Structure 1
């Protein structure tokens, strides 16, 4: 690498590490803990790259980017921040930052992005890349629980920033409680449409009056959110498809968002969702990861939710590292919604200013035996309902029906006063069907004829289910 790099960060360790790494790579580096000094350097010299933190003693690094670009329109700026929220990512994108990286970052990744920025120096990003109205994003609600530095969440934040003011319909896929509705609300409230209404349409309210409200979105230029389109009956899906076609020709077409389960393509393949409706909704697909797939985010997210609870009037509580470690051991089948409810209860019931590990463990015991002893090396498959765990009585007899009933009861409880999304019967059967077929195939060494006989179903039926459920079938190797 070659070029002059300016670093602004109030953490001396980060300045030292970046200075040494970039110097070894061949760059000329100047580092400061002051944004004022950074501005002077940009105005007095011709740097090739700026790397800046967001929260600094004398200002905000993102707010400074427009001034840096006025002095040097072609200057790439990489933002690094410990504020790993969707608002930070959107603001960095809106300020026309070259890139955004959450702290703590991997040094090789930052070096790779610095190299890319230096290779593109002299070529300013077009102003069209900045979301319309992005100067107002700073006033957006920072309490939305879209927090995380996991790679999957950071990739999601970047996609949201790019799609913020696009007219493309967006389908948000994920498990119940993972944050689909919150993400949809963010796409509306952080966009240029924030002053227009957000109108929801769901299977629970698919009356003529609800469709009339949805049609009104075409006159307001707002956002139409379709919740669980696969949950509408055949007639409702036909009306929904016709509505979307009519709204596309409206004077001020609304932004169309939709939320579905973790595998929208399965609903399409199984015939639960009309193909024309799917393609009207899935201009872009955003996958929201389950909480168990980003367990390292749990401590920061839990503290964020405690801070939000305090703003809402609950007692202000802290969360120590030991208590946070106890949270990480829980599988959280209800995802962020379950964690949010748990932190609200702990904020209300904790005996001191800091929630103790014992209080966390007591809350987890009430939640049930969804425990993780060691982090899984690969994310567990996403599920609309957590897989049933058999339990054993004192005589050692396993009662699968009781375990299934307990899991379903917890699933209903997680929705509070609301009902779960429609289609529960098929989802529950699918949750039992997949592990049953997988275990049977494993027991028969991948022999589908023997597996079909053991299951008591036709071999062609088994093949179809293996394909539909995307089950991998492997036969054991013969040892010579």
Structure 2
């Protein structure tokens, strides 16, 4: 049987309090709810819960305010933060204040009950300075509210207070260096250098000299002793980008440095002690490189202490419009004309598969900010910038046109102006037309439900329910001509 305890749930949405409260009671916990910071404070004294689950946005203030004081006064209380403000900032603030867990809304109830069980069985670990001044929360480089990005945010928040090596994985253009910069600028080493080196951009014969430095006369052109990236990053963070492109001989020397904490320059004999945090990144499958004897397995284990997997943009389409608006806003702050996105442009952005990921989207928004004569960016404008195999022009409007036709037909034939319309006839009409519409849209996007939902202007869960109701298999709805 899982450990049970007392739980205080704080949220101004009564539905959330009811659902969460009922789920926890079924697990055997004793639960009370509050709708404000004031009620929370009163119940913390009278109810004395083992677990506090609190929202951030509350009617009388920020739910994170006072959390550190609660933990200081009651170190046996574990705090779980839940919030619809799904940003890296929120995850970091929750972690700084000593929260045991941060759950972005909407969350899975199983995940919540698991977090409560873990919190009850784990003693609250000691935290460092709770609200360290000068931490640069504003202007964070990572943008996204999708579940995949929430997991990234939570991992980043957890590694800020330690120096564990991190391996950032993801396709080209997903923002791996931004993750490294965020970890450095928000972590304990932020006052020291952040040094980046791209293994794929340096000739193989020069990588060791770049990383470890060289002595005067070590090779032709070495006119003076030059510090390598390790020494340049002393006390800070060294970001090893495209680590999968590192030559085997350099990998061997890098492993020796990571094991000993000492660097010997090319042509030198006296080791130099270095203290740096290592963050590596790659868009390659290192496990395959290991099998092909192109990457050292022991180095992989040294680097991959904490993996952070960045999703491709096509895997978090709900973030596309948010990112596009962010890039347009940044362009405006840089002095370019302010642009906004029309609804049909939003649909087209979400329907495109973004092979270049976030970098491709950013470049497109920058071009639009510079070249577009219109202040409102429409789908027609976007089509001139997307590759020729982008969504055809008629797909984005077909569902809307059909919806208008259905409404017009309904008004003409279901007794508008003649009393109550015939509801059964209306349902029969939808049952006849809707499956055809769903099949055509899904076929046009090769069965991709995310793109189909974007084109239809409905939620993906709504689309899934409709497919189930009509007995349609999206895997079979692909273009065959």
TM-score (norm 1): 0.66
Secondary structure at the counterpart of residue 178 of structure 1 = coil
1:191 is aligned to 187
Q: State yes or no: 1:29 paired with 2:28.
A: no
**Residue in structure 2 matched with residue 373 of structure 1 by the alignment:** 445
2:243 to 229, 239, 246: 229
In structure 2, the residue matched to 1:62 is 64
- For residue 94 of structure 1, what is the aligned residue in structure 2? 96
Matching of residue 324 in structure 1 with residue 346 in structure 2: yes
Residue 293 (1) aligns with residue 315 (2)? yes
Relative to structure 1, the CA distance from residue 98 to residue 125 in structure 2 (aligned partners, 3 Å threshold; closer, same or farther) is same
Deviation at 1:316, TM superposition (A): 4.4
Contact 1:323/1:356, CA 8 A, preserved across alignment: yes
Which residue number in structure 1 is paired with residue 458 of structure 2?
none
Retained in 1: the 8 A contact 2:12–2:34? no
The correspondence for 2:304, drawn from 282, 288, 292, is 282
- Cα 1:224–1:185 change in 2 (3 A) is same
Aligned residue among 212, 228, 231 for 1:213: 228
Aligned to 1:181: 177
Report the 3-state secondary structure (helix = DSSP H, G, I; strand = E; otherwise coil) of the residue aligned with 1:215. helix
Do the aligned partners of residues 277 and 28 (structure 1) sit closer, same or farther apart at CA in structure 2, a change above 3 Å counting?
A: closer
Q: Deviations over 1:36-78 (max 9, x none)?
A: 4423332444133322222345433234310221332222222
5+ residue gaps, structure 2, are 213-226, 264-271, 392-443, 451-481
Measure the CA separation in 2 of the matches of 1:114 and 1:133.
22
Q: Alignment length, in residue pairs?
A: 369
Report the secondary structure of 2:178's partner residue.
helix
Distance 2:343 2:99 in 1: 34
Partners of 1:165 and 1:52 in 2: how far apart? 23
CA deviation profile, 1:312-367 (whole Å, cap 9, x unmatched): 4444444465433321211111111112222333445566665434444444xx34
1:125 corresponding residue in structure 2? 124
Q: 1:376–1:114: structure 2 CA closer, same or farther, 3 Å change rule?
A: farther
Task: State the structure with more CA Rg.
Answer: 2
| SS of residue in 1 equivalent to 2:132 | helix
Query: What secondary structure sits across from 2:66 in the alignment?
Result: helix
Deviations 1:231-257 (A, max 9, x none): 234554455445445535865521111
8 Å CA contact 2:9, 2:53 repeated in 1: yes
Q: Which runs of 5+ in 1 are unaligned?
A: 379-480
CA contact (8 A) 2:89 2:137 kept: yes
Q: Structure 1 residues 275 and 76 mapped into 2: Cα distance closer, same or farther (>3 Å)?
A: closer
CA contact (8 A) 1:217 1:253 kept: no
The alignment's TM-score, normalised by the length of structure 2, stands at: 0.66
Shift of the alpha carbon at 1:183?
A: 1.0
Asked if the contact 1:42–1:71 (Cα under 8 Å) also holds between the matched residues in 2, the reply is: no
Q: Is the 8 A contact 2:383 2:390 kept in 1?
A: no
